[in-house]
Amino acid sequence: MSLYSPPEIIKIAGDAAITKDKYSAKKILTLSFMAGAYISFGGLLSILIAGGMPEISAKNPGITKFVFGAAFPVGLMMVVMAGAELFTGNNAYFMPNVLSRKQTWKAPLRNWGFVYFGNFIGSVFVAYFLTHLTEVVSHEPWLDMVFKIAEDKTSNPFYKTFLKGIGANWLVCLALWMGMSAQHTTGKIMGIWWPVMAFVTMGFEHSIANMFFIPLAIFQGADITWPSFVIDNLIPATLGNIVGGAFFVGTLYWYAYEKK
């Protein structure tokens, strides 16, 4: 049998949540810094590949969106297989245990708080030191894509970014669920790739990825302020991500397979 069953995935996620709750603050911050950096590497790779296809994009923008989405999952693969703490994934991990009263709400809230902060530091680090200062995207056509991504993400009303946040983390957490179902590396890669490719191609909002995309545009000189980044994108995307992961994956799968 090469796949774990859905009830077995719930147990694997629950065991992971108990392990994560035992981490010290320093360990959580270290691992979450790494996860923010890994997701940012995926975002940078997507920009460099898809941003270098302006002629194709003009004729068939769907191809460019797919290529952008196809490159991005490398970040989550590194998070899962190398080991790191990602806020959006952890939104789902803790819910089965909390709802079954194996853990209290203190566990996810402590983890989410530290991990969110560490993810932010890791993402901004890659945006500023490894991307902005190295001028990797400082020239056309990549600079135009950097600006367009950030401008699009900060121009939507609250409800739209919130709903896109739900879609993004519903699929991200499904990617983690599918990755946990596989017992071999190849299966984990395929399980992660499809849902993540889908959410990025569809243009949904992932708060941790946006901690890279939008600050990078600000560093590059886009007409976007830090308050606009936080208010117009980060807050609604984060709230949507929590609903998408904690409810639509962690809670619904608990209800389906573990609720007595």
Concatenate the DSSP letters of all residues of 61-128 into one string.
HHHHHHHHHHHTTHHHHHIIIII---HHHHHHHTHHHHHTTSS-THHHHHHHHHHHHHHHHHHHHIII
Percent of the chain with pLDDT over 90: 98
Domain presence at residue 48: yes
pTM reported for the whole predicted model: 0.97
Q: In this predicted model, what pLDDT tens digit does every residue of 23-43 receive, in sequence order?
A: 999 999 999 999 999 999 999
Domain presence at residue 143: yes
pLDDT for 75 equals 98
Domain presence at residue 1: no
Q: In this predicted model, what pLDDT tens digit does every residue of 48-106 receive, in sequence order?
A: 999 999 999 999 999 999 999 999 999 999 999 999 999 999 999 999 999 999 999 99
Residue 2 pLDDT grade (very low, low, confident, very high; cuts 50, 70, 90): confident
Does the pLDDT of residue 11 top 80, yes or no?
A: yes
Report the C-alpha gap between 8 and 194 in whole angstroms.
21
Tokens of 160: 């739209």
User: Mean pLDDT across the chain, nearest whole number?
Assistant: 97
Number of structural domains found in the chain: 1
Does the pLDDT of residue 228 top 80, yes or no?
A: yes
| Average pLDDT for 1-15 | 92
Scan for tokens 């608990």, then name that residue. Answer: 254
Tokens of 92: 């789902």
DSSP bridge pairs for 3: 182
Does the pLDDT of residue 191 top 80, yes or no?
A: yes
Report the C-alpha gap between 30 and 84 in whole angstroms.
8
Neighbours of 11 (CB within 10 A): 15
Report the C-alpha gap between 122 and 177 in whole angstroms.
24
The residue type found at 229 is F
Cβ burial 223-245 (10 Å sphere, 16+ → b, else e)? ebeeebbeebbbbbbbbbbbbbb
Domain CATH number, residue 74: 1.20.1080.10
pLDDT for 260 equals 82
Check: CB of residue 87 under 8 Å from CB of residue 121. no
Does the pLDDT of residue 205 top 60, yes or no?
A: yes
Tokens of 145: 């894509």
Domain presence at residue 220: yes
Does the pLDDT of residue 203 top 70, yes or no?
A: yes
Domain housing 114: 6-257
Tokens of 174: 């499904």
Domain presence at residue 228: yes
Does the pLDDT of residue 1 top 70, yes or no?
A: no
Q: In this predicted model, what pLDDT tens digit does every residue of 154-190 receive, in sequence order?
A: 999 999 999 999 999 999 999 999 999 999 999 999 9
Residues in CB range of 106: below 8 A, 6 or more apart: none
Q: In this predicted model, what pLDDT tens digit does every residue of 125-137 receive, in sequence order?
A: 999 999 999 999 9
Q: In this predicted model, what pLDDT tens digit does every residue of 245-258 receive, in sequence order?
A: 999 999 999 999 99
Alpha carbon distance, N-terminus to C-terminus of the chain? 27
